């Protein structure tokens, strides 16, 4: 007896499903992946990092920042839509006015905040997806250890913590701060 293959969802299908704000979803090769909403610590860190980076980007007019859960269509047939915690797209790569749907590009720079429920494999898959899609710099941030891993290639991760300097070169030239400045003081 032949088993009928499941229909792969598209980015358009995912947009239609977004009518339920309680669900966070990504689309991985046409398969819907539901994720639990992040906890308070995750949300506070993502906001703090976005605010820190956003102030720099607003002052330099280098491009646009995108908040948590903005979908980026990074692959077609089958479709793959990822939603980072924070993203930046350079002014030169912006497609004009922001579309109502997903941006069909990989951000230049992505921040992924590691949740307690994330496995190392899941985090590595996200980093790999971003870098293979064309993202130049990915930060993975761990609130429990207050560390930042800066990825500039699949084999190029640099660990930063405490007073170590963190940058997003070459995407955000001139941006520098200590790792500790990226984490909210009260956590």
pLDDT in tens, 46-80: 999 999 999 999 999 999 999 987 999 999 999 99
pLDDT of residue 3: 43
Helix (H, G, I), strand (E, B) or coil at 82: strand
pLDDT of residue 36: 77
Q: What integer is the mean pLDDT of 88-116?
A: 92
Fold of domain 39-182? tt1808, chain A (3.90.1570)
- Rounded to an integer, what distance in angstroms lies between the CA atom of residue 141 and that of residue 179? 10
pTM, entire model:
0.89
135 close to 109: Cβ distance less than 8 angstroms: yes
Per-chain mean pLDDT for the chain: 89
Comparison of pLDDT for 153 and 19, the residue scoring more: 153
Here the tokens at position 85 are: 């915690």
Helix (H, G, I), strand (E, B) or coil at 100: coil
């Amino acid at each position: 007896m032949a088993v009928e293959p499941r229909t792969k969802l598209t980015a358009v299908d995912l947009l239609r499903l977004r009518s339920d704000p309680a669900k966070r979803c990504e689309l991985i090769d046409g398969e819907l992946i539901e994720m639990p909403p992040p906890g308070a610590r995750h949300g506070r860190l993502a906001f703090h990092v976005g605010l820190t980076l956003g102030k720099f980007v607003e002052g330099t007019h280098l491009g646009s920042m995108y908040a948590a859960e903005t979908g980026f269509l990074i692959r077609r047939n089958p479709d793959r839509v990822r939603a980072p915690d924070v993203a930046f797209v350079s002014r030169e790569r912006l497609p004009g006015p922001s579309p109502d749907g997903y941006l069909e590009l990989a951000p230049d720079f992505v921040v992924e905040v590691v949740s307690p429920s994330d496995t190392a494999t899941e985090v590595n898959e996200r980093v790999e997806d971003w870098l293979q899609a064309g993202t130049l710099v990915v930060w993975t941030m761990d609130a429990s250890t207050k560390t930042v891993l800066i990825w500039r290639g699949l084999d190029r991760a640099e660990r930063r913590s405490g007073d170590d300097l963190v940058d997003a070169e070459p995407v955000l030239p001139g941006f520098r701060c200590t790792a500790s400045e990226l984490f909210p003081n009260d956590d």
